[in-house]
Chains A and B, each alone.
Chain A
């Protein structure tokens, strides 16, 4: 329905980054956005907002759960946590990504004579 480049680098990449980040520690939306930006060295120029549809998708698939709480800066925030299904999903996705990455690397590496 929407143009895909608005949402994602490649399908599933944003979701994977979210899950990976949240595995380390539960975070609320704003912190999560900052974290991903920082972790990717600002290389990934994503709009912060594009996080939210992805979060909703993960919530819907029950890979995440969310709870309202109070942040360190004393704000009412909604904190996201990985569910056990989320942990498994992340592992699967990472191994899939690695396989894919390996494949791409092989293709891109010049063949030695």
Chain B
């Protein structure tokens, strides 16, 4: 253990060594003095013979060290001391880096939780969703019919398992409590096995559960908690669903928060006769697992071949339809990818700007410390040692910044979660995890390299004699001063360019959001509340019962004080649900060549347009006389009238629409209403057909639309009370004001514009601080030059102009580069922008001018300082 002994005795070794060297010198001096030299001469001679005392002592000590580690420790101690000595510098650098890294940490924690973390399923990368698209419908993702699914099983060997499921919605009996509606899914027996999730208690479905009439149910963790209070005895208990007793056979563990895993309960998927036979029913969701060795691309190719074959064999059902395999992860979180990556880019830019600023500060500090470096070089420090010292210092501040960043990220996490739209999958699952800590460390190290490397290389390049001669008062005229300055200017150009890109991105997002807010929906969205009532088949076998019930609810709701108008429709404008129909006009019916035409379809009670505030342009509203057995009647919107009849004057014309019974019926247009505009700026309104609820053939449920005088939510309890008076078991769900609905729809645009706005602002401020700092520095360096110019008769205005022109040149270079980069980059945002082009010239020009102006202002302060330079003082000062 001699190294251990050495470690503890080292202090003594060192003092022995110093004493010994001193004695050596003394002895030599004495000898020389005895030989007749003066003491002063003798001391010099002794030192010359001995060599570099400090260096030799240092080398001798080094023998006893674990060399590199201890050198670094010494550098760390020295670095800390020198950082403590300049608290202002340290504070600014650490704060700048903390902001830059903190923004990255915060966004990374989101990216990690939402995009990077694998789905918590066994071998999740081999899972896929199979969906379809049709040339007929404007939907990204449609389902698959059961006969087509059977063909997929037979002719796509790339899939080892193909499992159909469908979402369901059931009423859960309120034992003493209020009736509720829960969302669930009908699943095949292999569903959970495919996902690799085992039940927390009980079991999953087996083939014996897949018989018609089976009433087994698996509960989600949250529903089990709510209904059974964490009690494992739930297994085997009975609960009432849609009025029937179901037996709980399993409870699943907690699953992440995504659309895909939001089900509250699962029941066996037992296909109806129609599902088994009808290829037209493109409605089932499909979960699949790739066969061993097969790739998603192979699966897609095989699906393409199959889709072509199906389209040929069954043109009625499958012509124009394509099948698509998507990895389950992309299916679940894919849509959050682009917005998050854009945010990640933005914070990356912020960090780069922060690094540029810190780099500038290091440069100035290195320049100010030339004296110190020169002395260290003179007493034997190599360039490597200086570099190591500087590297350690920039590492220290970066790590401090990283620690600050982590705190900032932790503190802003709550706010960030509030800003992010709730639809982003797994957004509730964001935590500060070890991943995030590692990322912060990595970002800190990167920041250290980015901000510290170039200044360290420059500052450690020492020209000893020049620096000593100069005596530390810089005119920046030597070579190293010049490269310092050109690096500085390069940094200014760079950060300006980055700020331009950031600001253009932010401004585009903000404008897009502002345009969405300015969209006039075509009706009065305030003081409107929508309430969902479902009409499950077990209670409302005939549609007339549902219609009658709706009528009763509307009558009693209208009687509530504060209710100004009440009506109902199977969907409502700006709602999440959209219903579409094919239709024919008399003209299109005659023309064989017209392809099938689609329009939005709503089935509404009388007074719907009045309640919404949607103007009736011509004709009449539906009334209680529009009953079954009479001529079907329609109301169309203005868009429909103009587009398909060429005139707003369409009352009395004939129209046929595919009604819910799937039978085409010809009817008469009795009215024209105004257009409803979706919240997409610049988008053309959709053509729309309305039919009367009293002539409907099917109604699975309706939305009540209630306009109130006072705050709508205050009236809701009274409405619920009326509904429960009529049917105490009717769940009342999806209670939402239209204003809330609009806010929800706008949430992604809002969060995008708020976050990009914050980061853009941060980038702008940092870049301005950078420009200001560099310009001030350059002016202070040019004091002598300015003094001479003024002594030679330069006007103050000329000096001012000189400094400002210099600053402007740098800024403009940055603005030009930044604008070019933005042109290349903003197109990646285009899918997130509505109503504004990703290369909107006005935005680009505005940002360029704005940045040039603020940079001008940032130059003005140092410039006016330069203008006040007193030539006498400036010259003497040198």
Contact = CB atoms under 8 A, between A and B. Distances in A.
A2 B71 CA distance: 14
Interface stretch (B57-65, B185-193, B723-731): B57-65
B50 A47 contact: yes
Interface in A1-53: 1-2, 7, 28-30, 33, 47-50, 52-53
Nearest to A58: B63
B27 A75 contact: yes
A53 B50 contact: no
Nearest to B385: A1
B24 A50 contact: no
Interface in A43-94: 47-50, 52-53, 55-57, 60, 62, 66, 68, 73, 75-78
A68 to B, nearest CB: 8
Contacts, number: 71
B738 to A, nearest CB: 75
B24 A48 contact: yes
Nearest to A3: B382
13 contacts: A1-B382, A2-B59, A29-B21, A29-B24, A30-B23, A33-B24, A47-B56, A49-B52, A50-B51, A52-B21, A52-B60, A53-B60, A56-B13
B28 interface: yes
B53 interface: yes
B16 interface: yes
B64 A52 contact: no
Given A57-B63, A60-B64, A49 B53 contact: yes
A49 B56 contact: yes
Contact of A48 (B16, B23, B26, B50): B50
A87 to B, nearest CB: 20
Interface of A: 1-2, 7, 28-30, 33, 47-50, 52-53, 55-57, 60, 62, 66, 68, 73, 75-78
Contacts of B20: 28-29, 52, 77-78
Contacts of B61: 56
B23 A77 contact: yes
Contacts of A77: 20, 23
A60 B62 CA distance: 11
B67 A1 contact: yes
B17 interface: yes
Nearest to A78: B20
Contacts of B24: 29-30, 33, 48
A48 B61 CA distance: 16
Contacts of A73: 27
A76 B28 CA distance: 14
Nearest to A2: B59
B60 A56 contact: yes
B51 A47 contact: yes
B233 interface: no
Given A30-B28, A47-B49, A52 B57 contact: yes
A7 B52 CA distance: 12
A74 B17 CA distance: 19
Contact of A49 (B27, B51, B62): B51
A30 B27 contact: yes
Nearest to B384: A1
Contacts of B52: 49
Interface string B6-47: 100000010011011101101110000000000000000000
A75 B59 contact: no
A1 B13 CA distance: 22
B63 A48 contact: no
Contacts of B62: 1, 53
Contacts of B23: 28-30, 75-78
Interface centre among A28, A49, A77 (most CB of B within 10 A): A49
Contact of B63 (A56, A62, A68, A78): A56
A8 to B, nearest CB: 12
Given A47-B49, A60-B6, 19 more contacts: A1-B67, A2-B59, A28-B20, A29-B23, A30-B28, A47-B56, A48-B51, A49-B50, A49-B53, A50-B56, A52-B56, A52-B60, A53-B60, A53-B63, A56-B60, A56-B63, A75-B23, A76-B23, A78-B19
A53 B6 CA distance: 16
